[in-house]
Amino acid sequence: MKRNMQFAHKYKHSIYSSRAANTLSRKDKKYVEVRNKQIHNIGNTRIIKAPDFLSIYSVDEKYKTFHPFKETLAFKNNLIKTIGSHNCIIDFSNTKSFTAGAMVYLFAQIQSIKNLSKYKIELAWSKESKYVNRIIKRSGLPKLCRTGNPIENLSSVRSLPVVNGVGIQHYAQIMDFIQRRYYKDEMDPEIEFKIGDALSETLNNVGRHAYPGLDNKEKNWWMICDVIGDQLYLCIYDSGVGIPRTVVEKTWFLTSYEKTYPEEYATLKKEVGSVLDKVKLVTLNMFQDHQLIYLSMMGDVSGTKQKKHGQGSKSIKALVSDTNGGKLWVYSNNGLYKYEDGDKSPQVYKLPSEISGTLIQWNIKIG
């Protein structure tokens, strides 16, 4: 016990030093195992071990022994079960890669729990990758772990951190940052319009679709974006009900369903008649999440809907199509929709683990 208490004291200020990572790697350390081999006790502090690769992009079942997606989601579950009930150290000492999508998703989980918890969160930095440490520092995760709040003043940062907001909050700050950092206050008006339009449509979609029945102040999103060369990369996550739960409520849903899956629709109509609510309920239960996301991304296929609202996914997809190397990934609950420029049709996948809410990542050409 005395030895464990000495260890716990050493970790007190580990968030800004590599001492925690170095000490954790010592061969003679003694862990008190909890239920999970990735969670260990040192005194009253729990150590949550991050996997070597934090990524949500490898979703195929061909990854039998090495599956970053599953490992990342398991790590998220470990964070949820630990952060709210114990002082803890999130140990990235063996982490070699940390992708933007995984960062935004995990950042949101940590913030949501930290705001409701009295317990301390500290970090142990990666010994394997300076790039991982730069990603962690840039994201604002150290500040979040200390205070429970992300970085909000974007005027003093060199790289855009993970930004948390509601509605179009921070829209102006993000645009100002991109203008100042990447275009030296000389952004072409056409480029500014493209970035602003894509950004505002992405933020507004969260408020319109992700949190039915909630006040605007509760409709949280988390986002990170970057400009590399002539392309804008953006990743946004919300913890709402997910696309599969909301697409059936769209006014155009049944029309698109009938045109996309005519045989299934005809069979369903015979079984339930013309009671719309019953048709939608049966559809929700009959289709898997990735199929419902596909219908959502198809949008209104009748050609009669001219309003922009609700068609943002189609406009982003069009911009991705015009971008060399453009990609659009849409994760929601148990489904993934993936589209790349040059593809004749999108790919859809049933996820091996659930991402609650919706995470969208895309890159588009802006100049």
Whether residue 197 is contained in a domain is answered as: yes
Q: Does the pLDDT at position 54 exceed 60? A: yes
Q: Are residues 72 and 213 in the same domain?
A: no
Using alpha carbons, select from 68, 103, 336 the residue that is nearest to residue 223.
103
304-360 pLDDT, tens digit each? 444 444 444 667 788 888 888 899 999 999 999 999 876 778 889 999 899 999 999
At 280 the pLDDT is 65
Q: Are residues 40 and 127 in the same domain?
A: yes
Average pLDDT over residues 186-191: 88
Highest mean pLDDT among 62-66, 160-164, 349-353: 160-164
Which residue in the block uniquely carries the two structure tokens 């040192």?
Answer: 42
Residue 185: CB atoms within 10 A of its CB come to 8
Whether residue 98 is contained in a domain is answered as: yes
The C-alpha torsion from 61 through 65 and 70 to 75, rounded to 10°, is 180
Q: Are residues 213 and 95 in the same domain?
A: no
Using alpha carbons, select from 152, 125, 133, 132 the residue that is nearest to residue 13.
125
Label the pairing between strands 327-340 and 121-124.
unpaired
Pairwise pLDDT comparison (156 vs 111), residue with the higher score:
111
Q: Are residues 344 and 217 in the same domain?
A: yes
Residue type, 199: L
**Final residue of a structural domain among 118, 147, 176:** 147
Average pLDDT over residues 149-172: 90
Average pLDDT over residues 263-278: 70
Using alpha carbons, select from 35, 34, 162 the residue that is nearest to residue 110.
162
Residue 212: CB atoms within 10 A of its CB come to 12
Dig out the tokens for 298 from the structure: 């198809």
At 93 the pLDDT is 96
At 279 the pLDDT is 63
Q: Are residues 209 and 342 in the same domain?
A: yes
Average pLDDT over residues 196-200: 86
The C-alpha torsion from 211 through 99 and 164 to 79, rounded to 10°, is 80
Whether residue 284 is contained in a domain is answered as: no
**Final residue of a structural domain among 120, 147, 174:** 147
User: Could you tell me the pLDDT band of residue 209, with boundaries at 50, 70 and 90?
Assistant: confident
Q: Are residues 139 and 55 in the same domain?
A: yes
Whether residue 170 is contained in a domain is answered as: no
Whether residue 172 is contained in a domain is answered as: no
Q: Are residues 310 and 189 in the same domain?
A: yes
Q: Are residues 131 and 197 in the same domain?
A: no
Residue 348 CA to residue 329 CA, distance in Å, equals 10
25-34 pLDDT, tens digit each? 444 444 333 3
Q: For residues 69 and 55, is the Cβ–Cβ distance under 8 A?
A: yes
Q: What is the CATH number of the domain that holds 81?
A: 3.30.750
**Final residue of a structural domain among 101, 121, 147:** 147
Residue 123, beta-bridge partner list? 90
Residue 57 CA to residue 289 CA, distance in Å, equals 17
Q: For residues 285 and 327, is the Cβ–Cβ distance under 8 A?
A: no
* 222-227-232 Cα angle (round to 5): 70
Q: Are residues 214 and 357 in the same domain?
A: yes
Whether residue 171 is contained in a domain is answered as: no
Which residue in the block uniquely carries the two structure tokens 């974006």?
Answer: 225
Q: Does the pLDDT at position 15 exceed 60? A: no
Whether residue 163 is contained in a domain is answered as: no
- Predicted TM-score of the model (pTM): 0.82
Q: Does the pLDDT at position 277 exceed 70? A: no
Pairwise pLDDT comparison (294 vs 254), residue with the higher score:
294
Query: What backbone phi and psi angles, to 5 degrees, belong to 18?
Result: -90, 5
At 23 the pLDDT is 41
CB crowding 260-280: b at 16 or more within 10 Å, else e: ebeeebeebeeebeeeeeebb
Domain that holds residue 323: 184-242+301-365
Q: Are residues 72 and 201 in the same domain?
A: no
94-149 pLDDT, tens digit each? 999 999 999 999 999 999 999 888 899 999 999 999 999 999 999 999 999 999 99
Q: For residues 362 and 320, is the Cβ–Cβ distance under 8 A?
A: yes
Using alpha carbons, select from 165, 358, 363 the residue that is nearest to residue 247.
358
Residue 7 CA to residue 100 CA, distance in Å, equals 32
Q: Are residues 200 and 106 in the same domain?
A: no
Whether residue 277 is contained in a domain is answered as: no
Q: What is the CATH number of the domain that holds 357?
A: 3.30.565
Radius of gyration of the chain (CA): 22
Q: Are residues 142 and 233 in the same domain?
A: no
Q: Percent of the chain scored above 70 by pLDDT?
A: 79
At 213 the pLDDT is 84
Q: For residues 326 and 363, is the Cβ–Cβ distance under 8 A?
A: yes
How many domains would you assign to the chain?
Answer: 2
